[in-house]
Chains A and B, each alone.
Chain A
């Protein structure tokens, strides 16, 4: 299994540009999440999904959209990038809820100029 994969690893955007961060998992996990991590801080939840077709907001959802058309994929879209969205983005998946381990991807480092 490849586990959780994320692309791209690095990205530089100009203010106002849009882009999609890709996340995929091959473990048949129902639950997937997106987090952002700012320098010196812990991870903050952006959006999550408890299954295909179901998404919900996390702690810091503004400026981001998600969709979950398949179990494997959970893309994160930045609609109009802002410098405040400069961060490292992590995708995670787990089989179930409480008691289940979350597996994290390697991260995408995004810089918005």
Chain B
């Protein structure tokens, strides 16, 4: 699976959009981009995923560049409860259940 690179930490003001970048320059054609988050010591929580097209759900939007080498997770109106570590993961459709988590980005939403 392709390796991802994320900033170690980011701050965001409450009510503003949080834009979390992720580089995955070695991504291959059949690999998906996933985003999870982990609040404090809880289990990771799925946010969104995509292959080529931009995606939106009730939690966030995922913008994938045309060359698929990077993506951005957008939380449109960040709240204090969005403070968490956000993981960008690239995963293919090989025959295992392996999601390789890196260190992620620690997002702090400030009042």
Contacts and interface: CB of A to CB of B under 8 A. Distances in A.
Nearest to A42: B101
B26 to A, nearest CB: 17
A42 B104 contact: yes
A37 to B, nearest CB: 8
Given A42-B101, A45-B100, A99 B44 contact: no
A109 B30 CA distance: 35
B43 A50 contact: no
Nearest to A3: B43
A43 to B, nearest CB: 4
Nearest to B45: A104
B44 A98 contact: no
Interface residues of B, number: 27
Contacts of B96: 48, 50, 56, 58, 97
A45 B43 contact: no
Interface in A10-52: 31-33, 35, 40-45, 48-50
Q: Which of B45, B100, B103 has the most CB of A within 10 A?
A: B100
A92 B42 CA distance: 13
Contact of A101 (B41, B49, B87, B104): B49
B99 interface: yes
A49 B98 CA distance: 10
Contacts of A105: 43
A49 B102 CA distance: 22
Nearest to A101: B46
Nearest to A109: B41
Nearest to A57: B96
Interface of B: 30-32, 36, 41-46, 49, 51, 87, 91-104
8 contacts: A43-B44, A43-B101, A48-B98, A59-B100, A97-B94, A102-B36, A102-B44, A106-B43
Q: Which 7 pairs of residues, A with B, have the shortest CB-CB distance?
A: A98-B93, A104-B43, A42-B101, A43-B101, A48-B97, A31-B97, A101-B46
Given A42-B102, A99-B49, A99-B51, 18 more contacts: A35-B101, A45-B98, A45-B100, A48-B96, A49-B97, A59-B98, A92-B43, A92-B44, A94-B97, A98-B92, A99-B32, A99-B93, A102-B97, A104-B43, A105-B43, A106-B42, A106-B43, A109-B41
